[in-house]
Amino acid sequence: MRVVQKTTGPKGRAAYNVEGQRNCRSEFIASRIDSNIDYSVSPCDDLYQFACGRWVEKNAIPEELMTYSTFGILREGVEIVLRNLLQEDHMPEDLECMKKAKDMYASCIDMDKIEERGDQILKDMLVRELGGWPLTHAAWDEDAFDLVDTLIKLNRLGENPIISFYVGLDSKDTSTRVLTMDQPIFGMPGQKYYQVSRDDAMLKAYEDLIYRVSKLIGQANPDTAVKEVKEIIEFEILLANVRTLSGKTSAKAAA
């Protein structure tokens, strides 16, 4: 257990000492905390701005991300370390789970094998798991379509359109796990990308991507494909417009 003690540092600013650790470590922690504090704001008026204001000013949200936070930065660092580990050759001391993880990663980046196998795996998965994609599957049966069943299957594949489901800790009892329903994850990085003109370049590029993917797989009806892709985009726009942006959190949200 560590005890953090608040003291007065240079220029009257707060300093923090961590009992049981070397001074250099506690000074580093104190420096990180202090560098993010906006002393021009009273914590009684705006605690978020006081605690995180300077971090927000120094860290713009990258164009490709919806949110950006210290957690995201740490996650990126961890992903780099993991990637380097997975790219290493098998070692005699590797556990079986590590060997399997390395083999799976190697298969994911084996572009020659991926090109050799083509899109048949994707086609088979769309039919086997989801009953087909109407845009590419001529035998798709609207009467046999079950929305709830399809959402369940998509969730098992790691996709969460319309509604997100995940199992997490109960905030009122952390010894219990609960099923949580949340907002959907869209094809575009965030809500702001849908709240634009229909002629917006990024929205048009996204629409073109869907069309080209369907063409690559094989469109069921090329004559209506353009219209159907437009309907997909319109539906996503409707979903994005009813999505609720969360309030201020530890992550910076792109409005």
Judged against a pLDDT cut of 60, whether residue 253 lies above it is answered with no
Most confident of 100-114, 153-167, 233-247: 100-114
More confident: 114 or 18: 114
* pLDDT attached to residue 200: 92
Single-letter amino acid code for the residue at 87: Q
Q: Which residues contact 101 (CB under 8 A, 6 or more apart)?
A: 86
Angstrom distance (rounded) from CA 66 to CA 193: 10
Sign of the dihedral defined by the CA atoms of residues 192, 198, 204, 208, in that order: positive
Residue position matching structure tokens 């204001």: 53
Indicate yes or no: pTM above 0.75.
Answer: no
Summarised one tens digit per residue, pLDDT across range 99-110 is: 999 999 999 999
More confident: 17 or 23: 23
